[in-house]
Chain A
Amino acid sequence: MIELILKFSAFVSIGTTMGILYVLLSESIPFFREVSLIDFLTDTQWTPLFTNKHFGILPLITGTLTVTLIALLVAVPLGIIIAVFLSEYASPKFRRSIKPILEILAAIPTVVYGFFALMTVTPILQTIIPGLSGFNALSAGIVMGIMIIPMVSSLSEDAMYAVPKSLREASYAMGANKFQTAFKVVIPAAFSGIIVSIILAIARAIGETMIVAIAAGQQPRFTMDPTVPIQTLTAYIVQVSLGDIQHGSLEYKTIYAAGIMLFAITFLLNSISFYLRKKYQEKYI
């Protein structure tokens, strides 16, 4: 009896996944009856809320990619340096106390980061880049990058820390210093773990909503220019949700079309990372 209740709870997660798939498909299939998949994937304009309607998802994709790329440029180098530093250089005591503090960066509500990006980072950037628009991908991306630093650093560090001590000893015994040991032995040995951390960070950046909804603007543009207002997949869903659009209309269904795109990308990335993680866990047993 108890086991049955517990088992039922465990299946709630399956129900969630099926619910997500059902919702996304049931609303986006009618959408694709009206808009051809080819137009959706190749048209470079996204204007479902205008009179002259275009349903090309590409501008939302380029917007999402631009912000994600900027976030990665911030988070990946910093995250990996932190990981190497904590796992190979820092004292165990420093390592133990700094890790939860770094996690704070990921615990701050994203709406707060959005406010920072709009109110603090953009004005600072405008003094450096004169033509920078008030809403732009650059500041949203930088702030998002800061937010996901702990994702990269924590998982990468775990992977490096799991590299057997005997490999480090072998390297030191050959006369290598810490720097050489870290970059020539530990990083290659922990490589798949580092890749997993980066993939998860990408998925997180692609799905992040509030920072871009607040600071990156609401203008779908087919561009990778980080200085102008853009729109991401997530920000578009927010924009429509805030408006007063009738349930069942084509405009309404567009958020599910954007949603299924978002879900497909993140699902793919998560699956790859899960597979890689299973694989590297087996390596050193």
Chain B
Amino acid sequence: MKRSVRNKIYDKVFEIIGYTATFFGLIILLYFITDIVYEGWNRIDYDFLTSYTSRKAEKSGIFPAWVGSVWILALTLIISVPIGIASGIYFEEYAKKNKITYMLEVNIANLAGVPSIIYGLLGLEIFGRMFGFGSSILTGSLTLALLILPIIIVSTREALKAVPQSLRDASFALGASKWQTIWLQILPSSMGGVLTGTILALSRAVGETAPLIVIGALAYVPFIPSSPMDEFTVLPMQIFEWTSRPQHEFLINAAAAIIVLLCITFLMNGIAIYLRNKWQKKNQW
């Protein structure tokens, strides 16, 4: 066969392999999700969303779980977002290029790769025992806040980096101080990127299970938490608990709860992608 013909065949074959590989994972995921929806869809009703857990699978619901998830989400957001954005600003706008800054950067890169369950051990000892917060929502939120901090810092930095120097120069030339420039010019024009990163980070926090197991979050919560010091459960914990039961009815409950959790995840990711695209279109420097 002629070399050029063989080359064309190679290219064509690889293109087909490429498409297959690209869609392989997605198709399997789609299959999984279809399976879950098939299993759990009929289980989702008003009662399921407003009931406490019970010994009887068909009477169990996810009320404490989703309320717990909302608590965790809100508190994690309040703790992590200011610190994350502030550190991002520090690194991008203030930090001098020296050994200490480099060390801090290496440290953040490393923290981003620390397994989430290790954060659980940290939260259990420091927040749970040392600070005496026990297995409360506060302990959980502090733990998850530290877990997602590197993601928020990195995305804040990326967003700030994308702001052109000319905008800074223009602001300085008008006599604005450094902080005024950051607060009034740079942050607003990088908000899209910061928000995208923050939402993705929070979506990660909502789906986390392992660190919360370690800090001692309960699987069985017969009440609705009313303060950050209350004990709690979250959707992923509830799913995990039901998945480890042998009875099929509980697995159906797990599937139904997964549908709710996935809706939240997809919603948050969807918003993040939407914001990113909108922001990219608006700011074409």
Binding site for B on A (CB under 8 A): 2-3, 5-7, 9-14, 16-17, 19-20, 23-24, 26-27, 78, 81-82, 84-86, 89-90, 98, 100-105, 107-112, 114-116, 118-120, 146, 149-150, 177-180, 182, 200, 203-204, 206-210, 213-214, 234, 237-238, 241-242, 247, 255-256, 259, 262-263, 266-267, 269-271, 273-274
Q: Contact between B113 and A266 (Cβ–Cβ < 8 Å)?
A: yes
Residues from 103 to 132 in B contacting A, C-beta threshold 8 Å: 104, 106-122, 125-126, 129
Of chain A, the residue at the smallest CB distance from B258 is A112
Q: Contact between A109 and B114 (Cβ–Cβ < 8 Å)?
A: no
A contacts with B: majority SS:
helix
Q: Contact between B115 and A115 (Cβ–Cβ < 8 Å)?
A: no
Q: Contact between B28 and A9 (Cβ–Cβ < 8 Å)?
A: no
Q: Contact between A271 and B114 (Cβ–Cβ < 8 Å)?
A: no
Q: How distant is the Cα of A84 from the Cα of B10 in the complex, in angstroms? A: 14
Q: How distant is the Cα of A209 from the Cα of B115 in the complex, in angstroms? A: 8
User: Of A10, A102, A180, A203, which contacts B104 at CB under 8 A?
Assistant: A10
Q: Contact between A85 and B200 (Cβ–Cβ < 8 Å)?
A: no
Binding site for A on B (CB under 8 A): 7-8, 10-11, 14-15, 17-19, 21-22, 24-26, 28-29, 31-32, 35-36, 82-84, 86-87, 89-91, 94-95, 104, 106-122, 125-126, 129, 146, 149-150, 153, 179, 200, 203-204, 206-210, 213-214, 216, 236, 239-240, 243-244, 251, 254-255, 258, 261-262, 265-266, 269, 273, 276
17 residue pairs bridging A and B, Cβ less than 8 Å apart: A17-B107, A24-B118, A85-B21, A85-B22, A89-B15, A89-B18, A108-B262, A111-B261, A115-B239, A115-B243, A178-B11, A207-B113, A208-B115, A210-B210, A213-B210, A214-B240, A271-B110
Instruction: Given A10-B104, A104-B29, A177-B11, verify A207-B115 contact (CB < 8 Å).
Output: yes
User: Of B19, B107, B203, B254, which contacts A85 at CB under 8 A?
Assistant: B19
Q: Contact between A149 and B25 (Cβ–Cβ < 8 Å)?
A: yes
B contacts with A: majority SS:
helix
Residues of the B chain whose Cβ atoms lie less than 8 Å from the Cβ of A6:
86-87, 89-90, 94
User: Of A78, A262, A271, A274, which contacts B25 at CB under 8 A?
Assistant: A78
Q: Contact between A270 and B109 (Cβ–Cβ < 8 Å)?
A: yes
A-B CB proximity, top 9 nearest: A207-B115, A85-B18, A109-B207, A9-B86, A270-B113, A209-B210, A6-B90, A177-B7, A81-B21
Residues of the A chain whose Cβ atoms lie less than 8 Å from the Cβ of B206:
109
Q: How distant is the Cα of A97 from the Cα of B108 in the complex, in angstroms? A: 29
A53 to chain B, nearest CB (A): 21
B136 to chain A, nearest CB (A): 16
Which of B86, B208, B266 gathers the greatest number of chain A CB atoms within 10 Å? B86
Of chain B, the residue at the smallest CB distance from A179 is B10
Q: Contact between A105 and B25 (Cβ–Cβ < 8 Å)?
A: yes
